[in-house]
Amino acid sequence: MTQPGADSGVVILVPEAEPLVAAARAAWDRSAAVGVPAHITLLYPFVPAREIDDDVVDRLAAAVSGFSPFSFVLTATGRFPGVLYLAPEPASTFAALTAALAHEFPDHPPYKGAHAHVVPHLTVADRPDAPLDLLEPTVTPEAPIVARARDVCVVARNDDGRWRVTLRLALGARADVIPR
């Protein structure tokens, strides 16, 4: 078992999706139960939280510095085995951010290298007993959810096992560290 406080990930938070997915995530997404807001993962696992120092922050800022804030929409659901998610469009910017981060942090490949192709997604349900067929109609957007990615966040597990945002890096020509 991983020690509390060791895990971290790099994500883009999607508060615009919370009204639609909060109830389903609270019931069926293990990450929501421990405090992770609706998000699209860019890189997990990331550098262990205790090892995130100024050098790691500088490298992270450099990796995302070429990306400007961008808009995206969530219009449809998708599935992996045992997982229901919302798919962002366009997915290409998320994929490019993931590639840039994986290039800068080669010791931390996305999902430990378990997948040859990483599909950007916002997880709604991630439990083997989740009733995906019943959940899907409740989280399928009736109209596109328009969202804006303004920053990249590091989320980390605290000693109490709950997760919180520990760092925000603004997207733009210069990736400024937003105070924690």
pLDDT tens digit string along 76-117?
999 999 999 999 999 999 999 999 999 999 999 998 767 778
- List Cβ neighbours of 60 (8 Å cut-off, separation of 6 or more): 10, 101, 104, 152, 154, 167, 169, 175
Q: Using an 8 Å Cβ cutoff, are 48 and 6 in contact?
A: yes
Q: Is the pLDDT of residue 174 over 60?
A: no
Fold of 8-178: Cyclic Phosphodiesterase; Chain: A, (3.90.1140)
**Which whole number is the average pLDDT over 135-163?**
94
CA distance 171 to 127: 32
Mean pLDDT of the chain: 91
Would you place residue 167 in the very low, low, confident or very high pLDDT band (cuts 50, 70, 90)?
A: very high
Domain boundaries, the chain: 8-178
Q: pTM, whole model, 2 decimals?
A: 0.91
Q: Is the pLDDT of residue 5 over 70?
A: no
